[in-house]
Amino acid sequence: MSSKATILVGVTGSIAAYKAADLVSKLVKAGHTVHVIMTREATELVTPLTFSTLSRNPVTLSLFDEPAEWKPQHVSLADIADLLVIAPATANVIAKLALGLADDALSSIALACQAPLLVAPAMNGKMWLHPATQQNVATLKKRGARFIGPEAGLLACGYEGLGRLWNVDGIVAEIERMLKRKKKRNA
């Protein structure tokens, strides 16, 4: 089966990181080439081996990972991406993206990437509703980023409220919609 699209999946240090494994698995089953970029915090929750096995590609953990070619990895991955998905996205990563900070592999790749961006937030509800987070989300939306979620429900911290990662099937459906729109624009 030939690949439909090349999708970069950023996984951050939210407890919902385990759900990203299901997302990667479903994208690969749909015929996409998937490259996973994990923050250091995400590796405390899910191992890179899980994602390399599911994606059938090496996982990017650092700007200093050995590139497969001479090009720096944050540039080469950004160049091949049809879509960048960050799921789950923490308040920290959303802030980095809004401010244009590039101090790790994921934020550097995001800054170099010209492909559409889909952000699926997952965090404590108070963090999501904080004015700083909402301002960062508004900034990213103005730049064209698409947000899906978060959902309301029981959060890992024990609170009930807005902050849960959007359901994986819904994220996959939105990815397919975004890829379809991109393909129509490029046709």
In this predicted structure, what is the pLDDT of residue 2? 44
In this predicted structure, what is the pLDDT of residue 71? 57
In this predicted structure, what is the pLDDT of residue 1? 39
Q: What is the CA radius of gyration of the chain?
A: 15
In this predicted structure, what is the pLDDT of residue 147? 98
Catalytic residue among 75, 99, 138, 157: 157
- Does the active-site annotation cover 157? yes
Instruction: Enumerate residue ranges in the chain where pLDDT < 70.
Output: 1-3, 65-74
In this predicted structure, what is the pLDDT of residue 133? 98
Q: Which residues pair with 152 in a beta bridge?
A: 162
In this predicted structure, what is the pLDDT of residue 64? 76
Is the pTM for the entire model greater than 0.85? yes
**Domains and their CATH numbers in the chain:** 6-186 (3.40.50.1950)
